[in-house]
């Protein structure tokens, strides 16, 4: 029984999700932190939904949406010729939605903690909005970025329900570590389940510990 | 001339400014809190979204802004903070070594912003704004967040700024002494509207502006120190002399003196046995009632104007009217060092 196959797949999935959420989530988090639009509560609600929805509900809707007859799925089939459901690409999309609040909320909090005047000073000193974001906002929001990335990575790694609904259990394609553990328990192969669980436990501990240790050093600079 | 034309409505408050200010020297904008001073500065800088629909974005306006609270960029050292604007400047008319010398920042360059005092941080913020080589520098009560000791420490730097740089500055304050010390031109702002605008010395000697009728009344004038004696300095003033405590450099450039209207009293006859050193022979030019109790009297002292704040009862008792020759006793004078 290969332990590292499912783990490696999980890590690939988590990395892809984290990178996509960093790219897509940053502008959303920035907009949420700056806007006074009446649509803000609506957007915030949508972003936070995955926190409260059971993964089965989210997975069910995603299954329909990503399926060959769904809005996104049919478009994907036309584009690539293969289905999104029960594929790694489908898992990435599902994970991005499922882990979105974990990426956006820490970034949004960091952006909101930035004094408005710091931003205005950067503008009056000749920085365009984009320039000010990269030269002032980003370096002062490192904590938010690190927090968002670590949390979305770890959360994707531990994801189970949505993956099972959307991805199923295809070795090398959608059989991530949490599914593999479930599988082993179902077949009463406790030894393998133990090994994988312990691996995930250690990994989660190291990642979270790393983040908090980083925050501590960052604060005491 | 620089035209300030700005209109902005926020709730019940309407800012409606139409004024021209000189393109050199320091223009003071004086008003009570809530008169719209900061809003006006933000409009000039393009920071007020409501007033900047389709206008030039902030970073293209080439305007330096010094905020009331000095917020430096904490992730950059002092050098990085100072150079932030210079790196993005379209021209480099202002020399960085000159600014760093002028503001005494040479020893701070490698420090972190959080190790600086409020006054030091404000000096760094001013240097950063200047090195952007702006066409206009806006200062929003840059001394207001400091205690009076820090304020006294920082004021000489503003004097140097005034004397050494040619960039025009708009300086907002609710402290008339600060304005009288630093500014050349004065705009009075009341409830979002300009009520007076002109040369500082002229505006301060008006008696018909309500904003300058209360404790803010007083004139600023130039005088040269002539000699020092008994710890006092004699200034040549109008037709006579004025003695001021403290020793000032004589025969140097004329200094600014400020005489508050509440420090001037009037007598029909020359007072003899008095502790007040400065008695001036003056002519009553105008008398303006401020309220039921108080009047402001404008006095012609040769080629200079002095204001006196007196009670209406005294005006009646002395039967004061314009054209009368009287004596003005000046209790205190402040000098800009």
Q: By CA distance, what is A142's nearest residue in B? A: B75
Give the residue ranges of DSSP H helices in chain B. 37-45, 78-87, 96-102, 118-130, 148-164, 176-182, 200-204, 312-317
Contact state of A121 with B45 under an 8 Å Cβ cutoff: no
Q: Which one has a higher pLDDT value, B107 or A221?
A: B107
B-interface mutation test, from A118, A126, A136, most B Cβ less than 10 A away: A126
Say if CB B94 and CB B130 are below 8 A apart: yes
Sign of the CA dihedral A14, A19, A20, A21?
positive
pLDDT tier, A212 (very low <50, low <70, confident <90, very high otherwise): confident
Contact state of A117 with B64 under an 8 Å Cβ cutoff: no
Largest Cα–Cα separation, chain A: 66
Q: Which residues of A touch B85 (CB under 8 A)?
A: 125-126
Contact state of B58 with A121 under an 8 Å Cβ cutoff: no
The whole-angstrom distance between residue A59's C-alpha and the CA centroid of its chain comes to 15
Q: By CA distance, what is B85's nearest residue in A? A: A125
Q: Which residues of B touch A128 (CB under 8 A)?
A: 57, 59
Q: Which of B150, B174, B204 is the last residue of a domain?
A: B204
Q: Provide CB contacts within 8 A for A191, sequence distance 6+.
A: none
CATH code, domain with B251:
2.40.50.100
Q: Provide CB contacts within 8 A for B80, sequence distance 6+.
A: B73
Radius of gyration of chain A from Cα atoms? Answer: 20
What average pLDDT does the segment B184-212 reach?
Answer: 91
Q: Which residues of A touch B63 (CB under 8 A)?
A: 124
Within a domain: B188: yes
The pLDDT value given to residue B304 = 86
With b meaning 16 or more CB within 10 Å and e meaning fewer, what string describes B16-37?
ebebebeeebbbbbbbeeebbb
- On whether any CB of chain A is under 8 Å from the CB of B70, the answer is no
CATH code, domain with B164:
3.40.50.300
pLDDT tens string B126-184: 999 999 999 999 999 999 888 888 888 888 888 888 888 889 999 999 989 899 989 99
Domain interval for residue A188:
4-219
Q: Which of B71, B74, B89 sits opposite A117 (nearest CB)?
A: B71
Contact state of B59 with A126 under an 8 Å Cβ cutoff: yes
The pLDDT value given to residue B52 = 66
Regarding whether B222 and B192 lie in a shared domain, the answer is no
Q: Provide CB contacts within 8 A for B176, sequence distance 6+.
A: B30, B212, B216, B218
Regarding whether B117 and B246 lie in a shared domain, the answer is no
- DSSP assignment of B208-251 equals S-GGGTSTT-EEEEEEEEEEEETTEEEEEETTEEEEEES---TT
Give the whole-angstrom CA distance, residue B332 versus residue A93: 78
The pLDDT value given to residue A221 = 62
Q: Which residues of B touch A139 (CB under 8 A)?
A: 75
pLDDT tier, B241 (very low <50, low <70, confident <90, very high otherwise): confident
Q: Which of B45, B69, B75 sits opposite A124 (nearest CB)?
A: B45
pLDDT tier, A68 (very low <50, low <70, confident <90, very high otherwise): confident
Q: What is the dihedral of CA B295, B297, B298, B299, to 10 degrees?
A: -170
pLDDT tier, A214 (very low <50, low <70, confident <90, very high otherwise): confident
Contact state of B71 with A124 under an 8 Å Cβ cutoff: no
What average pLDDT does the segment A55-80 reach?
Answer: 89
Question: Per-residue pLDDT for A1 more than 70?
Answer: no
- On whether any CB of chain A is under 8 Å from the CB of B65, the answer is yes
Q: Which of B74, B125, B132 sits opposite A140 (nearest CB)?
A: B74
Q: Provide CB contacts within 8 A for B109, sequence distance 6+.
A: B77, B78, B79, B82, B100
Counting the structural domains of chain A, the total is: 1
The pLDDT value given to residue B93 = 83
Give the CB-side neighbour count of residue A180, counting CA atoms within 13 A.
29
Contact state of A122 with B73 under an 8 Å Cβ cutoff: yes
What average pLDDT does the segment B103-118 reach?
Answer: 92
pLDDT tier, B75 (very low <50, low <70, confident <90, very high otherwise): very high
Give the whole-angstrom CA distance, residue B123 versus residue B113: 11
Within a domain: B210: no
Provide, rounded to the nearest whole percent, the portion of chain B with pLDDT above 70.
99
Q: Which of B175, B204, B233 is the last residue of a domain?
A: B204
Within a domain: B231: yes
The pLDDT value given to residue A108 = 96
What average pLDDT does the segment B26-50 reach?
Answer: 91
Q: Which residues of B touch A116 (CB under 8 A)?
A: none
Regarding whether B236 and B184 lie in a shared domain, the answer is no
Give the whole-angstrom CA distance, residue B27 versus residue B20: 10
Within a domain: B212: no
Mean pLDDT over each residue of chain B, to the nearest integer: 90
Q: Provide CB contacts within 8 A for B219, sequence distance 6+.
A: B201, B204, B205, B258, B259, B261, B304, B305, B306, B307
What average pLDDT does the segment A39-47 reach?
Answer: 93
The pLDDT value given to residue B54 = 67
Regarding whether B272 and B175 lie in a shared domain, the answer is no
Q: By CA distance, what is A128's nearest residue in B? A: B59
Q: Which residues of A touch B90 (CB under 8 A)?
A: 126
| Predicted complex ipTM | 0.86
Say if CB A171 and CB B128 are below 8 A apart: no
A-interface mutation test, from B59, B63, B136, most A Cβ less than 10 A away: B59
Three-class secondary structure of residue B64 per DSSP: strand
Regarding whether B198 and B237 lie in a shared domain, the answer is no
Q: Provide CB contacts within 8 A for A111, sequence distance 6+.
A: A29, A30, A33, A34, A137, A141, A144
Counting the structural domains of chain B, the total is: 2
Domain interval for residue B95:
2-204
The pLDDT value given to residue A82 = 84
Most confident region among A13-22, A64-73, A205-214 by mean pLDDT: A13-22
B-interface mutation test, from A35, A117, A125, most B Cβ less than 10 A away: A125
Regarding whether B194 and B256 lie in a shared domain, the answer is no
CB pairs under 8 A between A and B: 62
Contact state of A127 with B132 under an 8 Å Cβ cutoff: no
Question: Per-residue pLDDT for B337 more than 60?
Answer: no
Give the whole-angstrom CA distance, residue A190 versus residue A198: 12
What average pLDDT does the segment B189-205 reach?
Answer: 92
Three-class secondary structure of residue B149 per DSSP: helix
Contact state of A128 with B132 under an 8 Å Cβ cutoff: no
Regarding whether B280 and B302 lie in a shared domain, the answer is yes
Give the whole-angstrom CA distance, residue B159 versus residue A188: 84
Q: Which of A117, A124, A136 sits opposite B58 (nearest CB)?
A: A124
Contact state of A122 with B84 under an 8 Å Cβ cutoff: yes
Contact state of A117 with B74 under an 8 Å Cβ cutoff: no
Least Cα separation, residue B50 to chain A (angstroms): 13
Give the whole-angstrom CA distance, residue B70 versus residue B78: 13
Contact state of B62 with A126 under an 8 Å Cβ cutoff: yes
Give the residue ranges of DSSP H helices in chain A. 4-34, 40-52, 55-66, 71-80, 88-113, 116-124, 129-132, 138-140, 142-157, 161-167, 177-186, 190-219
Within a domain: B213: no
Provide, rounded to the nearest whole percent, the portion of chain B with pLDDT above 90.
52
Contact state of A126 with B88 under an 8 Å Cβ cutoff: yes
Regarding whether B245 and B194 lie in a shared domain, the answer is no
Question: Per-residue pLDDT for B51 more than 80?
Answer: no
What average pLDDT does the segment B95-116 reach?
Answer: 91
Q: Is B313 exposed, middle or buried (0-12, 13-18, 19+ CB in 10 A)?
A: exposed
Q: By CA distance, what is A141's nearest residue in B? A: B75
The pLDDT value given to residue B56 = 85
CATH code, domain with A189:
1.10.3720.10
Regarding whether B255 and B174 lie in a shared domain, the answer is no
Least Cα separation, residue A139 to chain B (angstroms): 7
Regarding whether B224 and B180 lie in a shared domain, the answer is no
Q: Provide CB contacts within 8 A for A27, sequence distance 6+.
A: none
């Amino acid at each position: 029984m290969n332990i590292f196959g499912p783990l490696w797949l999980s890590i690939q999935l988590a990395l892809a999700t984290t990178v996509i959420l960093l790219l897509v989530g940053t502008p959303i988090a920035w907009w949420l932190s700056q806007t006074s639009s009446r649509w803000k509560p609506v957007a915030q609600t949508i972003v936070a939904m995955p926190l409260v929805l059971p993964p089965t509900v989210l997975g069910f809707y995603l299954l329909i949406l990503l399926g060959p007859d769904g809005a996104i799925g049919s478009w994907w089939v036309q584009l690539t010729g293969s289905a999104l459901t029960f594929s790694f690409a489908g898992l990435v999309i599902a994970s991005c939605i499922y882990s979105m609040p974990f990426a956006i909320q820490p970034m949004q909090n960091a952006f909101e903690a930035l004094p408005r005047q710091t931003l205005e000073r950067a503008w009056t000193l000749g920085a365009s909005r984009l320039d000010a974001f990269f030269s002032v906002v980003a370096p002062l929001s490192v904590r938010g970025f690190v927090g968002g990335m670590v949390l979305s990575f770890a959360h994707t790694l531990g994801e189970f329900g949505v993956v099972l609904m959307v991805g199923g259990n295809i070795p090398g394609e959608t059989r991530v570590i949490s599914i593999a553990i479930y599988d082993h328990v179902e077949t009463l192969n406790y030894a393998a389940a133990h090994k994988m669980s312990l691996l995930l436990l250690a990994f989660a501990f190291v990642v979270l510990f790393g983040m908090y240790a980083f925050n501590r050093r960052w604060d005491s600079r | 001339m620089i035209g300030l034309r700005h209109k902005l409505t926020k709730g019940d408050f309407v800012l409606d400014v139409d004024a021209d200010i000189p393109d050199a020297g320091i223009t003071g904008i004086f008003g009570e809190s809530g008169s719209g001073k900061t809003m006006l500065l933000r409009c000039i800088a393009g920071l007020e979204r409501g007033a900047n629909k389709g206008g030039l974005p902030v970073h293209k306006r080439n305007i330096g802004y010094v905020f009331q609270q000095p917020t430096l960029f904490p992730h950059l050292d002092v050098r990085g903070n100072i150079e932030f604007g210079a790196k993005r400047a379209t021209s480099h008319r202002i020399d960085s070594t000159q600014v760093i010398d002028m503001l005494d920042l040479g020893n701070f360059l490698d420090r972190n912003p959080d190790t600086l005092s409020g006054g030091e941080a404000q000096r760094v913020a001013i240097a950063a704004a200047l090195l952007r080589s702006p066409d206009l520098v806006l200062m929003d009560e840059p001394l207001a967040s400091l205690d009076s000791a820090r304020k006294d420490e920082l004021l000489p730097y503003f004097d140097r700024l005034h004397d050494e740089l040619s960039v025009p500055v708009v300086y907002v304050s609710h402290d008339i002494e600060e304005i009288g010390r630093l500014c050349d031109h004065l705009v009075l702002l009341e409830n979002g509207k300009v009520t007076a605008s002109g040369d500082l010395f002229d505006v301060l000697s008006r008696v018909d502006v309500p904003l300058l009728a209360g404790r803010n009344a007083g004139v600023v004038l130039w005088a040269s120190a002539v000699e020092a004696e008994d710890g006092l300095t004699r200034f040549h003033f109008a037709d006579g002399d004025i003695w001021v405590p403290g020793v000032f450099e004589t025969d140097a450039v004329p200094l600014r003196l400020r005489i508050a209207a509440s420090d001037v009293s009037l007598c029909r006859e020359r007072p003899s046995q008095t502790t007040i050193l400065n008695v001036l022979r003056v002519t009553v030019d105008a008398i303006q009632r401020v309220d039921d109790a108080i009047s402001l009297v404008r006095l012609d002292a040769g080629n200079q104007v002095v204001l006196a704040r007196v009670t209406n009862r005294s005006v009646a008792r002395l039967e004061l009217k314009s054209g009368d020759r009287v004596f003005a006793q000046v209790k205190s004078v402040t000098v800009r060092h």
